[in-house]
């Protein structure tokens, strides 16, 4: 009888241990591999089309990997500025991020080509370049810095960021309207030179501080796309929006080289495919976001000006000439040679 009780106790213990093991073992899609969790960051609010694209990327990664790979999304600059997120990816403390093409120019000098004014003729030309051989070449170039060493990150795909346009408290329909105005720009030498060439006083201010700067008159205006103008509520201060399309700088989905090296060939392919899917999805989300932004601008009493871009293009010829040297010049010529 004692032996029977011992046997029963052993069996009960085995069952309990099995239940506990099943409850606490790492989750997986194939019954064995633990889920790899990664972080992806961007600086825009959750109602922005870029956030929708990032969420779609994370969802597709999970689907393609059968749940083995998962990205946690950190919007609103929670993990720092775009420059800080690139530095974090270099050190391996952040896995991926969305950054603007202009920010990349500080890390990979040839990426300054993205910031050149009137580099792209229109939206159709923009996407013909980005989705073609030149666009892929640009993504590949991001893996190497100006000294020929690894940059610490690599490009996966492009997100639409539309065109950058002026908004202020007064109409801007020609370059002379910018004379004497303090215009907020990104802390990017090409953007600063572009504003100077048009006659404005460029004033680099962080995006998060811009609303207050406009409100207090630290700057007279700024330049950006409609979704960002609306999501930041800058229309509450600046009621004049001018479509001059002076630059079309893509957003780029970037991954840390350290994270990339830690993935298998199959895992890398899942991320590539997810990034390609997210690019298409975000482009559609962007178009819808622009349409919605224009509706809100009308409802908020914003006056929209469709201006002749030629005078602005002529005014910035010196900027394109200044940066058209070496690899940047080669890329600029390749881009301009792409037909629609």
pLDDT tens across 73-83, in order? 999 999 999 99
Mean pLDDT (whole number) for 216-233: 96
Residue 130 pLDDT > 60: yes
Give the pLDDT confidence score for residue 19 in this predicted structure.
39
Give the pLDDT confidence score for residue 155 in this predicted structure.
97
Residue 334 pLDDT > 70: yes
Residue 140 pLDDT > 80: yes
Residue 37 pLDDT > 60: yes
Residue 13 pLDDT > 80: no
In sequence order, the 6+-apart residues with CB closer than 8 A to the CB of 49 are: 160, 227, 282, 285, 286, 288, 289
DSSP string of 273-307, one letter each residue: HHHHHHHHHHHHHHHHHHHHHHHHHHHTTPEEEE-
Give the pLDDT confidence score for residue 339 in this predicted structure.
85
Residue closest to 104 by CA, chosen among 93, 116, 113, 91: 113
Mean pLDDT (whole number) for 222-239: 96
Split at pLDDT 50, 70, 90, the class of 331 is very high
Split at pLDDT 50, 70, 90, the class of 33 is low
Split at pLDDT 50, 70, 90, the class of 21 is very low
Give the pLDDT confidence score for residue 160 in this predicted structure.
96
Mean pLDDT (whole number) for 243-252: 97
For residue 214, what are its two tokens?
């406009």
Percentage of the residues of the chain whose pLDDT score is greater than 90: 85
Q: 45 with 231: CB under 8 angstroms?
A: yes
Domains detected in the chain: 36-161+249-291 (3.40.190.170), 164-248+295-337 (3.40.190.170)
Mean pLDDT (whole number) for 12-36: 47
For residue 249, what are its two tokens?
């700088």
Buried/exposed code over 237-274 (b: 16+ C-beta within 10 A; e: otherwise): bbbbbbebbbbbbbbbbbbbbbbbeebeeebeebbeeb
CA angle 105, 109, 115 (to 5 degrees): 45
C-alpha to C-alpha distance for 327 and 179, rounded to whole angstroms: 33
Rg (CA), the chain: 24
Half-sphere exposure of 312 (CA within 13 A, CB side): 25
Give the pLDDT confidence score for residue 32 in this predicted structure.
53
């Amino acid at each position: 009888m004692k032996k029977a009780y011992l046997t029963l106790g052993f069996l009960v213990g085995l069952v309990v241990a099995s239940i506990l093991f099943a409850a606490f073992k790492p989750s997986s899609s194939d019954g064995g591999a633990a889920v790899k969790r990664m972080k992806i960051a961007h600086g825009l609010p959750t109602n922005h089309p870029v956030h929708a694209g990032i969420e779609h990327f994370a969802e597709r990664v999970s689907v393609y990997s059968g749940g083995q790979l998962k990205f946690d999304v950190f919007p609103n600059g929670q993990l720092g500025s775009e420059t800080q997120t690139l530095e974090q990816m270099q050190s391996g403390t952040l896995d991926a991020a969305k950054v603007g093409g202009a920010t990349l120019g500080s890390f990979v000098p040839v990426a300054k080509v993205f910031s050149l004014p009137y580099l792209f003729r229109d939206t159709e030309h923009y996407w013909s370049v980005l989705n073609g051989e030149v666009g892929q070449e640009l993504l590949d170039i991001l893996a190497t810095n100006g000294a020929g060493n690894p940059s610490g990150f690599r490009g996966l795909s492009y997100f639409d960021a539309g065109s950058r346009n002026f908004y202020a408290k007064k109409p801007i329909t020609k370059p002379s309207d910018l004379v004497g105005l303090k215009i907020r720009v990104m802390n990017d030498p090409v953007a600063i030179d572009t504003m100077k060439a048009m006659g404005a006083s460029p004033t680099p201010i962080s995006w998060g501080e811009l609303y207050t700067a406009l409100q207090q008159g630290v700057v007279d205006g700024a330049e950006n796309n409609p979704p960002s103008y609306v999501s930041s509520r800058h229309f509450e201060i600046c009621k004049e929006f001018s479509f001059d399309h002076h630059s079309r700088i893509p957003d780029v989905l970037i991954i840390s080289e350290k994270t990339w090296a830690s993935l298998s060939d199959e895992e890398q392919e899942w991320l590539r495919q997810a990034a390609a899917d997210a690019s298409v999805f975000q482009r559609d989300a962007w178009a819808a976001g622009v349409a919605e932004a224009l509706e809100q601008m009308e409802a908020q009493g914003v006056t929209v000006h469709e201006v002749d871009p030629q005078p602005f293009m002529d005014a910035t010829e010196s900027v394109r000439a200044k940066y058209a040297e070496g690899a940047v010049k080669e890329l600029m010529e390749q881009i301009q040679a792409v037909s629609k």
